[in-house]
């Protein structure tokens, strides 16, 4: 069974994924993905997220929470290690700042418009996109709470396949014409 670890911190955007009733967490659970969360910084403890434990790391937004998570050296090391081992890393909203602080190589990404200038001005490494969800190899980024459903469904597809994405999508009963 695939598994996911979602980082949270004081100031994490609740719509993006704090508990069972929120978008990413709930969507992953609906797909049968074992999903856990960990608080950053975990006082005096290292984050237990070795490469053998999870298939995807998710960094949510919320300005204060995203700043705390993206500045954590353990998170930065895990982001680099997961991507180096061809595992998935998802970043939502201001959580995309972790791409900058983790010194990821040049690639496409997106973020909340409020942190776009930081990603563009402080790094010539990123090809910034206004798309709702940007998939760059195993890095998957999205713009904000309103784009979290297609983001979460993209994670489901990458971990479990198109059929599972469709199986999860159907009962969610999105309005007719919803593009995801």
Q: Which of 13, 16, 67, 157 is catalytic?
A: 16
Burial of 72-106, coded b for 16+ CB within 10 Å and e otherwise, reads bebbbebbebbbeeebbbbbbbbbbbbbbbbebee
Contact 60, 7 (CB under 8 A): yes
Q: Give the pLDDT confidence of 33-90 residue by residue, as tens digits.
A: 999 988 887 655 666 777 889 999 999 988 888 999 999 999 999 999 999 999 999 9
Q: Considering only CA atoms, which of 16, 73, 15, 70 is closest in space to residue 47?
A: 73
Active site residue 93: yes
Would you state the pLDDT for residue 169?
96
Contact 59, 90 (CB under 8 A): yes
Would you state the pLDDT for residue 19?
36
Active site residue 112: yes
Q: Which of 13, 67, 93, 169 is catalytic?
A: 93
- CA–CA separation, 53 vs 85, rounded Å? 13
Confidence of residue 13 (pLDDT cuts 50, 70, 90): low
Confidence of residue 156 (pLDDT cuts 50, 70, 90): very high
Q: Is the pLDDT of residue 117 over 70?
A: yes
Q: Which of 112, 157, 160, 169 is catalytic?
A: 112
Would you state the pLDDT for residue 44?
53
Would you state the pLDDT for residue 112?
95
* SS3 at position 107: strand
Confidence of residue 123 (pLDDT cuts 50, 70, 90): low
């Amino acid at each position: 069974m695939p598994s996911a670890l979602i980082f949270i911190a004081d100031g994490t955007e609740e719509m993006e994924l704090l508990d069972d009733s929120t978008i990413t967490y709930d969507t992953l659970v609906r797909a049968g993905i074992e999903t856990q969360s960990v608080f950053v910084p975990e006082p005096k403890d290292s984050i237990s997220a070795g490469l053998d434990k999870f298939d995807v790391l998710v960094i949510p937004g919320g300005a204060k929470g995203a700043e705390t998570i993206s500045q954590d050296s353990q998170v930065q090391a895990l982001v680099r290690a997961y991507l180096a081992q061809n595992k998935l890393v998802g970043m939502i909203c201001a959580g995309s700042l972790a791409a900058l602080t983790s010194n990821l190589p040049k690639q496409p990404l997106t973020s909340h418009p409020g942190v776009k200038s930081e990603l563009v001005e402080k790094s010539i490494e990123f090809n910034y996109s206004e798309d709702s969800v940007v998939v760059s190899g195993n890095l998957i980024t999205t713009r904000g709470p309103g784009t979290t459903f297609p983001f979460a469904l993209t994670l489901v597809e990458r971990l479990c396949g198109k059929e599972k994405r469709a199986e999860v999508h159907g009962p969610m009963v999105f309005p007719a014409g919803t593009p995801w």
